[in-house]
Structure 1
Amino acid sequence: MKANPRPRTIALRILSLPVLAAVTQLGACVPQPPKPAPAPTPSTAARPAPPPPAPAAPPTVSPAPNWRDQPATPGNWHWSRSASGSDAAFANGQFVLHCNPARHTITLLRAMAGASGQVAMTIRTSETTRALPAVPVAGGVGVTLMARDPLLDAMAFSRGRFAVETTGAAPLYIPSWTEVSRVIEDCR
């Protein structure tokens, strides 16, 4: 005889009820996601701070041109010996170095028309800049320097070129070729 006359299917149904109740209670323990905050109304919305004013642009000033960036004056050097020494002429005589070996001097001659008085001749090299008082000579202006003047060495060893700026004439941007050194050495 059976102690419990109920059918087995009912027993399983009765057992599953407590399990179902436990699962339902466990689902209640899981935290729910937070509700989104209500959107602020236009009157209560925080307004962002205005951006700082943009800095004022510096005034545009075109930099003074660097003489090293200027195009080279067209022309070549020509060395020659004369009865009074040696000469190196650049661009068909636009600039001439003349050596006077008896006096150990070198004259820098700049061809220009209309020089009636003393003018400034500025020599710029990669190492030095010097303004010299040039006086009128036949066909232009000239400056005479002692053969050992450091300016001459600066011209000979300038990085690729040197500049000759004379009041009343366009500047010359002259290559520093061996003819410059040759005239200097002839006078020393």
Structure 2
Amino acid sequence: MPQNGLGREAQGAFGPPESFEAFARTSQRRLYRTAYLLCGGADAARDLTQTTLAKMFQHWRRASAADHIEAYARTVLTRTYLAERRRRLRDLLAHARPDARPAGDHADLRVTLMSALAGLPPRARAMVVLRYWEDQSVESVARLLKCSESTVKSQCSRSLARLRAELGDAHIYATGS
């Protein structure tokens, strides 16, 4: 048995708990980018990334034994985001709902896209980000969010239609035309 008291099986692909630091260094930027797309803001994305890494550290023995630790971390990140959104939604429902956000005329596509993504419900937003930003298959998104493949397909289709309607004419945002 190794010095740290963990059996070889419990150490997983990344080895002993000390290797969590190496994992966190290599994965933090990718997790942050996904979190930013989910949350829509830098501060919330940093918080979500830190919460995800804290959960990964807390359960490092199990996480390091996963076949695909990046997918495991992305699952933790997405489920943490959805759980926090559900908590916030319950708090908001206790009070009057604010009016819909004003549709501003944004010059920058990035700002416009982030604004449009913010208008999607949390679960639909997670599906769009995982499916199209993370380039995940329908099957993996369905498995990650614990729903059927047809739900992923229909929600993504509806969400993309909503985004297209909100963003207006596609030729305005096209590059090179």
TM-score range, shorter chain: under 0.3
**Structure with the higher fraction of residues in helix conformation:** 2
Greater relative contact order: 1 or 2 (C-alpha under 8 angstroms, separation 6 or more)?
Answer: 2
**Which of structures 1 and 2 has the bigger CA Rg?**
1
TM, length-normalised to structure 1: 0.23
**Structure with the higher fraction of residues in strand conformation:** 1
